[in-house]
Amino acid sequence: ILFRKQQQLQFVQSQKEKMRLLTHNMLMCNKGCMDNNFPLQLVVDKVEERESEFIPDQIRALVPKLDWGAAKEAEKAVEKQEFSMVAELPEMPPAKPLDDEEFLKKLHFLLFNVHVLEGKLVCKNCGREFPIKNGIPNMLLNEQESQN
């Protein structure tokens, strides 16, 4: 019973942390790199799948904002994980993405249900690492960096 309780506790604890792959699609280097500052390299130490409500209009609103290359990179970063659904995006978005329900579902799964709990985001230009702890990326600059 103790063992089960421990397991339960762990489940409740990890339920709180989150960083969806959607966010990775939006982040650039905070140090102010001019070139090659997007997308940040996603290094994943701990990933989890969470359920979330599929609201088609939400995904439709996001489709025009997404950077497809970054989405494919994020997909690659978590490819070693086993998920309940095959999270594979096509090489290019379909011709009419907003009407393609299958496509929207796949997008929803990858961007909303895959959470990075521990890891880091690395700038490809300057190599600066932004750690992800408890699902929260730490984008704070140190004193030297904020001088500029």
* CA 40/CA 31 separation, integer angstroms: 12
Q: How far is the CB of 145 from other proteins (least distance, A)?
A: 8
Q: Which of 3, 8 has the CB closer to other proteins?
A: 8
Q: Which of 106, 128 has the CB closer to other proteins?
A: 128
Q: Under a CB-based contact definition with an 8 Å cutoff, are residues 16 and 34 in contact?
A: no
Q: Which of 82, 141 has the CB closer to other proteins?
A: 141
Task: Return residues touching other proteins (CB under 8 A).
Answer: 15-20, 22-23, 26-30, 32, 38, 52, 55, 57-58, 60-62, 65, 67, 134-141, 143, 146-147
Output the CA torsion 34→127→115→89 (10° steps): 60
Q: Under a CB-based contact definition with an 8 Å cutoff, are residues 147 and 75 in contact?
A: no
Q: Under a CB-based contact definition with an 8 Å cutoff, are residues 124 and 32 in contact?
A: no
Q: How far is the CB of 1 from other proteins (least distance, A)?
A: 26
